[in-house]
Structure 1
Amino acid sequence: MPAILSSVLSNITDFVVHEGNGVKGLADMGLESLPKQYIQPAEERITTSTVIVDDTIPVIDLSDWGSDPKVGDMICEAAEKWGFFQIVNHGVPLEVLEEVKAATYRFFRQAAEEKNKHSKDNSPSNNVRYGTSFTPQAEKALEWKDYLSLFYVSDEEAAALWPSACRGEALTFMRNCDAVIKRLLKSLMKGLNVTEIDGTKESLLMGSKRINMNYYPKCPNPELTVGVGRHSDVSTLTILLQDQIGGLYVRKLDSDTWVHVPPINGAIVINVGDALQIMSNGRYKSIEHRVIANGSNNRISVPIFVNPRPNDIIGPLPELLESGEKAVYKNVLYSDYVKHFFRKAHDGKETVDFAKIN
């Protein structure tokens, strides 16, 4: 083993986290085996015995959204039974999708010194964060992933703080998704018999947004680790663009089996987050999902997390309780919920229990 690689492996946290090399820096050194810090417990790895190969999440064609009420019904049914679905013919231009994927690669191909300007130790704002794994200080085993996380406040702040390598493409992708996000939420609210989304409710459902750019380098022993561990999102909705490599798996509702989300060119993956599960009083389901590591290819994904505002109180929507439903969840400050999620390692659906009424 070369001396420089031996030195890196003896100080992985410094090299990967503090010096900004990320897991990409490890992969680029030509590793022949997975460092022990990334080896996941056996129960956290996906095996062929836990994967369903003949089932898949719904794919919904939005071409006739305005004229066919069945489209809205399919969206609500998918949110109830799967928590995940893919949309095609959604109106977001294909070139916008391709450009934000190219920008993701452009950011991560930069030198570590450039990326590290946006790390926790160096970024001038908590709204811009480059990092690796999920919560390294709380994890027993690290995840094989680097990320750039961008919380949107305003175009002015983005112009000042977001990395130039991907700023324009990230903003364009977010803007182009706004119309489809609003229509999805309108359909989902109609499914709860909430017929009017006024300004207050729209702000509660989609008052803040965060876009992440995720990079999963080729891995020497993909069967021993994960790209992302088991979790559900804390969002209202997540709008996910994945590349054509594949590797996203969702847990089938009330099951111990996992289903692959196959890449479809031009499609966008939609999933329900914890905030919407709570607001729908459990009708819509935020589902555990995870990403496997890949031994042959680098992989990227670009999720937009559509969230309440940090200072919003989330709980079952008043319209549901007024119709006689018993509340399953208590009211919680959204920022408290998010802090609870980020202070620990990925642990499946345990975060949503934080909001359950005992």
Structure 2
Amino acid sequence: MSFSSQHPIMATVISNSSELMEFIVKKGNGIKGLAETGLTSVPKQYIQPMEERIDIHNVKIENSIPVIDMANWDDPKLDDLICDAAEKCGFFQVINHRVPLDVLKSVKDATHKFFGLPADEKLKYTKEMSPSKNVRYGTSFIPRAEVALEWKDYLSLFYVSDDEVSAYWPKECKEQAMEFMEKSEPLVKKLLKVLMKRLNVKDIDEGKELLLMGSKMINLNYYPICPNPELTVGVGRHSDVSTLTILLQDDVGGLYVRGNSGDSWINVPPASNGSLVINVGDALQILSNGRYKSAEHYVIANRSRNRVSIPFFVNPRPKDMIGPLPEVLEINGEKPLYKQVLYSDYTRHFYRKAHDGKKTIDFAVI
């Protein structure tokens, strides 16, 4: 049986997982390449268990996440809007955020450009071939640990230095990805300053800044058209392990966030007016002693258009210990809800298993 683009394959004859993975992973075609073979149904390896198939037509949908206009950067009312959203929902959108619109367009275009490369070009950045452990092209999340695979390809870029970016990041997207990160940093610092102020942290010194955003990573995500989106997911239910995530969506949409009621989902509308989605990660939930809450979210597959999204994760450094900040515990004499954990241990735990909602946070619970 051939998996070449010259001999399109149909999902009905895909029964051998090793041959499927050979085509998708080892030959660098990804899900994009699979989707472009003309298949008319999802391979069985991508069919999610019934409990993971969230039918958006039958779930309870709450109102959308807050949209915060940051045009007046120093308005005290803005601080309350940001903190309230981080406490109640863990997700919000920002507009007039000072990240130039042309930067957002450029990184989206670069994402399409990278995933439009021939398979043998993308293959250079797989785990086995990449010149750097900080540059990784892959598919799904943790294929070896997943009961069912996710309908997504990605390029993960962990920032270490400008020299490594220059030497190892793909030329099709390195300048655009770096510019998105650099132009987003003032927004990140503004948000963290506001969020920390409510936690009794009046000044973010160099040590605090390194703890909150000492490491950075950007993902370029590609969600190809799917013939049976109701049977699979783009990304399974999870919360991020970051301090904050700055997400750039395109105009396709597909992101859903767990509602406060626990049995409902909030549709996060596709980007408009250059909006960016901000979400609290597990690290900030731990540092805030649970005051700010990371939210469970997932991405649906869709049958009509290819979708891209670009999340920029700001995190503690791998060597940092994370736990409730002393300033937080001093506010009302709170008892810590989380123990001190090495951040690299926390992320290692996250990446050893399939997406499983918010269970990763249990790793740090006292």
The answer for the alignment partner of 1:97 in structure 2 is 104
SS of the residue corresponding to residue 58 of structure 2 reads helix
Which sections of structure 2, spanning at least 5 residues, go unmatched? none
The code of the aligned residue for 2:296 comes to E
The residue aligned with 1:129 is 136
| Residue number in structure 2 paired with 1:235 | 242
Report the CA distance between 1:105 and its aligned residue.
0.2
2: distance between equivalents of 1:27 and 1:353? 37
TM-score normalised to structure 2 length: 0.95
Counterparts of 1:11-22 in structure 2 under 5 Å?
11-22=19-30
Among 276, 289, 297, the residue aligned to 2:305: 297
Counterpart CA distance in 1 for 2:73 and 2:291 is: 22
Residue in structure 1 matched with residue 348 of structure 2 by the alignment: 339
Kindly provide the CA deviation profile for residues 219-269 of structure 1, in whole angstroms up to 9, marking residues without a partner as x. 000000000000000000000000000000000124111111001320000
Displacement of 1:135 in angstroms is 0.2
TM-score by length of 1: 0.97
Deviates more, 1:313-322 or 1:329-338: 313-322
Counterpart in the other structure of 1:165: 172
* In 2, Cα distance between equivalents of 1:321 and 1:57: 29
2:84 to 65, 77, 80: 77
Partner of 1:271: 279
2:186 pairs with 1:204: no
The residue type equivalent to 1:19 in the other structure is K
Deviates more, 1:189-198 or 1:218-227: 189-198
The answer to whether the 8 A contact 2:111-2:220 is kept is yes
**Which string of whole-angstrom CA distances, capped at 9 and with x for unpartnered residues, describes residues 161-181 of structure 1?**
000010000000000001000
Superposition pairs for residues 313-332 of structure 1, below 5 Å? Answer: 313-323=321-331, 324-332=333-341
Matched, 1:178 2:188: no
AA of the residue aligned to 2:264: T
Q: Which amino acid aligns with 2:352?
A: R
Cα displacement string for residues 34-53 of structure 1 (whole angstroms, at most 9, x for unaligned residues): 1000000111112222241x
Taking every aligned residue pair, what percent have the same amino acid on both sides? 65
Over the aligned positions, Cα root-mean-square deviation in angstroms equals 1.4
For 2:15 and 2:28, locate their aligned partners in 1 and report how far apart those are by CA, in whole Å.
Answer: 15
Q: How far, CA to CA, are the matches of 1:140 and 1:236 in structure 2? A: 28
Say if 1:8 and 1:15, in contact at 8 Å, map to a contact too: no
Residue 175 of structure 2 aligns with an amino acid whose one-letter code is: G
Pairs within 5 Å for 1:2-81: 4=7, 5=9, 10=16, 11-47=19-55, 48-52=57-61, 55-66=63-74, 68-81=75-88
Q: Would you say the 8 A contact 1:234–1:273 is kept in 2?
A: yes
Q: 1:288 aligns with which of 279, 296, 302?
A: 296
Alignment map for 1:144-163 (pairs within 5 Å):
144-163=151-170
Deviations 1:184-219 (A, max 9, x none): 000000111211111000000000100000000000
Aligned partners of 1:65 and 1:72 also within 8 Å: no
Distance 1:81 1:75 in 2: 10
* 2:334 counterpart letter in structure 1: E
Give, as a single letter, the amino acid of the residue that structure 2 aligns with 1:160: A
Q: For the residues of structure 2 that align with 1:195 and 1:14, how far apart are their CA atoms?
A: 53
- Say whether the 8 Å CA contact 1:92–1:177 is kept in structure 2: yes
